[in-house]
Amino acid sequence: MSPHLEQFARQLKSWAQDIIDHGRTPFRRVDCLPAIVTEAGVVRPPLIFWINRQSMMAGGIVLLPDNNLANELERGRHCAEALGLGHFVTWETERVRLWRTGTDAISEEKCFLLPGTDHPDFFRHLLRDLIDALKIPAVTGAVPQGQLSHHYFHNLFNIAEELALPALTDAFRSQRAEELEGMAFDVDQRALEANRLLLLQLLTALRFGLLPDPLLPEDLGEVITTALKHAPEPFNTSLINRWDAAPLSLPNETAVCYHHLLLRLQQLRWTTPAQRMKQSLVNLLALWYPKNGNSQMENVEVLLYPRTPATAPNLRAVLSDSPLLLAVTAIARELAGLPQPVFCYDSLMSLTPETIWPGNLSAWLLSPIPVSRNERARFGARLRTSWPHRNFKVLTDQPRWKWQLIHLLGISQPHQRLQIQCPVALVEIAADDPLWTLLCEHFHLREIVKIGHNLCLLLSRSPLNTKPTLIKADPDKPGEPLVFTEPEQFRRHLINALQLPALGSGKEIPTGKATIHASKNVKQHIIEQLQIHGVPNFPDQYLYFLDHPDMLSYAITPPLRVVSRLLGQFDMVDG
């Protein structure tokens, strides 16, 4: 949509909301350019009139065709289907038309002509007439519940997820503030995943008829947890995990949102027909996790920290620190008719040579979070199980992925094929670090491929193997063979082969330290900031940073000339 049409849509939205607030209409709000999921993908119609947005009860759609009316009519049909409507509006250059969607064709029902004037009052009055014309079809033209598409339910899920998130995010922030020690995670991302997990738990419990009737909002969280224990395998185990830092109770606003969703789904009989219900779940999971997130080896059998749900047919086990990913994997595989693997909600560091699963293994070791002071002893103890004859010094400024990689190398079985993705900062680790020694002495590195900001290592446990390693700076281009005999030489050749000149500047890294550190010690960083800016006196000086704002300078060369005008606003350029 062009900037002028977008500006016009926002002006129509402002007028429409004013008409709704001060008039007698079935509508309660109007949204400008909201994202809805349709058969043609995610679409942003200029205006949507809502009778009840939380219940997914839309009353009308207004589209602003640019040039191609035929494409816009098809777009309107998709939007109407996704919102459970049988009509939509096109606001064209010369006329405004109300259209009816049918099984065979789209037909024009009403037309308002536009004269040549562009006076704002005329558009406002025309919009009022249009809203009056939408009253009857908004109430009588809704699609029957048996004919609602799976996209309709997908959009209903999205609205409930959006409305429930703010209160849950605040609850996670409060919980982290109370338990600050050792809480190193993105609270907004954690709340987002917890919100989605709760939605999946509710839908699964409803799908299998496990929820009692009646159910109060304040009991929703506890009832869902209890109900899922009676769900069929593997949902009774894969959907009941929760984060360690999760709030003890569900926020009231979040519970009310999902309780409302539950009642609405029961009213619309979401579970029948089963094919529509399953397709709405497939669409929901595909929106959360695009299919291009995992790049795993063929015939993979074990996944550690995958980025997206796994669809490998021979999968035996999945380990993840995300309850949401485990739940989504279980549901996605059940919907696809695939066998279920073992789901493990745990840390890689808890695995031992005796408990790691055999078979081809893919792992994504990408966590940049430094090892905390409280975790040093635990990491050291775990490393003694994977490398009993070595003594590693775990430092608090080193990233987790490095020690996870070392531990995985130690617990892997002889000749087990491994595919490991880790940050490209692997090449920044000093050549005398134990990691390079372990790779050189105990493993055959078959291939190293640079994928974005990560490196993909293909290797197997095969000591003293002198076969060359294939180095690829681009996955789609031929690689360069390189023999791994001595860590320092191999590391330098690796930097050149991967075309990383900035990393190969010759600056060595101290022994045993990786260059991915926390930006600074938090305490020292705070002290430096206080020395620069001083301690503010709250609340009187809470805006003390405004004493030195950023300055902007503008230079204009007259004369100014008008290049476009719309609704009393002008775009002007200088000479």
pLDDT confidence of residue 337? 94
Q: How many distinct structural domains can be found in the chain? A: 3
92 sits in which H/E element? none
DSSP for 347-409 reads: -GGG--TTTSPPS-EEEE----PBPPGGGHHHHHHHHHHHSTT------TTSBHHHHHHHHHH
Note whether 357 and 282 are same-domain residues: no
- Positive or negative torsion for Cα 318, 324, 329, 330: positive
Note whether 134 and 166 are same-domain residues: no
Interhelix angle 69-82/150-178, nearest 10 degrees:
60
Read off the tokens for 185: 């995670």
| Domain boundary pick from 478, 497, 516 | 497
Note whether 118 and 252 are same-domain residues: no
Note whether 20 and 42 are same-domain residues: yes
- Residue 336 in any domain: the answer is no
pLDDT confidence of residue 106? 93
C-alpha distances out from residue 400 to 348, 364, 403, 454, 526, Å? 11, 12, 6, 15, 24
CATH label of the domain that carries residue 123:
3.90.1570.30
- Residue 239 in any domain: the answer is yes
DSSP SS3 for 30: strand
DSSP SS3 for 94: coil
Please give the average pLDDT of every successive group of 10 residues along the chain, which has 575 residues. 92 96 94 96 96 96 91 95 96 94 89 84 93 93 92 98 96 77 73 96 96 92 94 93 84 96 96 96 94 68 93 92 95 95 94 94 92 88 92 87 96 93 91 88 91 92 79 89 84 86 44 38 65 58 53 81 84 85
pLDDT confidence of residue 479? 87
The structure's pTM equals 0.83
| Domain boundary pick from 459, 475, 497 | 497
DSSP SS3 for 37: strand
CA geometry: angle at 21 spanning 15 and 26, to 5°? Answer: 100
pLDDT confidence of residue 531? 61
pLDDT confidence of residue 198? 97
Q: Is the peptide bond before 232 cis (omega within 30 degrees of 0)?
A: no
pLDDT confidence of residue 543? 54
C-alpha distances out from residue 390 to 103, 398, 465, Å? 72, 18, 21
Note whether 181 and 137 are same-domain residues: no
Note whether 10 and 112 are same-domain residues: yes
Read off the tokens for 475: 């996955």
Domain assignment of residue 90, given as a range: 3-143
pLDDT confidence of residue 166? 96
CATH label of the domain that carries residue 353:
3.40.50.12420
DSSP for 399-459 reads: BHHHHHHHHHHHHSPTT-EEEEEEEGGGGGS-TTSHHHHHHHHHEEEEEEEEETTEEEEEE
Read off the tokens for 344: 């493990």
Residue 105 contacts residue 87 (beta carbons within 8 Å): no
pLDDT confidence of residue 89? 97
Residue 544 contacts residue 536 (beta carbons within 8 Å): yes
Note whether 65 and 162 are same-domain residues: no
